[in-house]
Every structure is written in C-alpha cells, then in structure tokens.
Structure 1
C-alpha cells in the first residue's frame, strides 16, 4: 500500500532503535490501511500524529516501549482488550508495545476504523455530549 508520508515522521522513526522502528512502521501502515485518507503530521514539536477530521492516534517512543495514543474519548469499543492504559481517561487511551510483543493487527485496524468513523460523525466530544443528553 502506498500513502503520502510526512518526512518528519520518517525522521522521528528513523532515529529510534530498530525494534521501535518496526513497531512504529507497523502502526503507521495499519492506520493508513484503516483509511487511505489519513494524513500524517507532527504535533508537540516532534510527535507523529495521524489525523482524519480530528486526531486518530499518535506515536511516542519511550525507553522500553512504544506508546500508541488513541484519541477516542474512551468511547471506542475494545472487544480484543488491546488497550493497556487510560481506561478511565476522558480524552484518549493508550496501547503500549514492548520489544518482541506482537501487534494484534486486525484489532488495531478495527479500532482505528471506529475512531475515524467517530471523527466523521463529529468527533468523540460531540458524540459523548449527545449521549449525555
């Protein structure tokens, strides 16, 4: 699959250890597989973000893992239990991948597609506000 890459995202990924590069490249490919209209950008000076009518996810490499931040307001179902942190977070949740851990690709693409659908429906803030009524 080909998609438009932001060279700044390449720069971020290329500076990481090989195992973190692999995780980031897999996540990058999967978010684009979820919807070819996803765009890449850099926010917060260096952090790769993937956006489509709002934030979908962001990458942040830490010393011993890679965090994938999901911007879903906690409303996207997680039937495969891939969320590792932020279960009670009001704006987003997170999946941490450590060296050697496999990525449940189908579950992650499913989650990305749900977040994108929510973004297209007005975003999680609007959807949450409508359900509180």
Structure 2
C-alpha cells in the first residue's frame, strides 16, 4: 500500500486521503475532522504514514497518531502524559508514563477548541525539546 504503480512512494498526505476514502463510514469522517483540526491548530504540522498504515502528525517529534479500529478512532498523543488536559479529553491509555489517548466512538462529539489547544500544547512541548 506504500507504493504507487511507478514504484515511487506516495506522499503521506495521499495515503491518509486514501485511508479516509477506504473507511467510507463514520471513522473516515472522524479521521478527516481530526486531521482538519490538527492542521488548523498548527499549519506547519507534518503528515507521516508509519507502522504499516497509521497516520501520524509531527512537528519537532510525534504529536499524535490517528488509528482506526472497528468501533473507535484513537488519537494517541506520544507525550500526552506530560500535557495539561484541562478539558479532560484524554480517556484512554491513562496508566502509562508517556502516552495518552482519546478514543472517539461513533456519534461522539469532537470538541474542536479543546482538541486544538491540546495539539498546540503537544507541539509546544516538542518544540521546547528541540530548541535546547
């Protein structure tokens, strides 16, 4: 899935576009929504395609992933445990020392401003590490 017919690797953004189309259901809609919010939060974010088909957004390091499962879309923040979450968005992977996740189920609302604030905080944390 990582190659085009010419043998050249396709851009990650194209791979994410294809994933959204392939899903063709609420999960694709949610993935598209969170992707748009990530881009709004920080237009300099880099889209990547890792681990055999996982959309990843980075800037100064991984910000978060957008994994899709049968009953959830999971946003895993690479350094989520170090982030303040005043809106209480994190609802999964709460026991770990590093990552935190947001599991979004069908029909659940996404809180745009709170999510964008969390994304900006993750970018700031990553960038503070690269400025040293």
TM-score range, shorter chain: 0.7 to 0.9
Match of 2:62 in 1: 55
Greater mean deviation of Cα atoms: 73-82 or 107-116: 73-82
Cα RMSD for the two superposed structures: 1.7
Any unmatched runs of 5+ in structure 2? 1-10
Which of residues 106, 128, 131 is equivalent to 1:99? Answer: 106
**Displacement of 1:65:** 1.0
SS in 1 for 2:96: coil
2:6 is matched with none
TM superposition score normalised by structure 2: 0.86
Is 1:75 the equivalent of 2:86?
no
Map of 1:6 onto structure 2: 13
Matched residue of 2:129: which SS? coil
Partner of 1:40: 47
- Is 2:92–2:102's contact at 8 Å kept on the other side of the alignment? yes
Runs of 4+ in 1 over 2 A off after TM superposition: none
Partner SS state of residue 68, structure 1: strand
Alpha-carbon distance, 1:5 to partner: 6.9
Which runs of no fewer than 5 residues in structure 1 stay unpaired? 127-133
Shift in Å, 1:15: 1.1
Taking the aligned partners of 2:107 and 2:129, their CA distance within structure 1 comes to: 37
- Between the two proteins, the alignment pairs up a number of residues equal to 121
Give the deviation of 1:72 after TM superposition.
1.6
User: Does the aligned pair in 2 maintain the 1:74–1:88 contact within 8 Å?
Assistant: no
Q: How big is the shift at 1:35?
A: 0.7
Give the aligned partner of residue 126 of structure 2: 119
How big is the shift at 1:45? 1.5
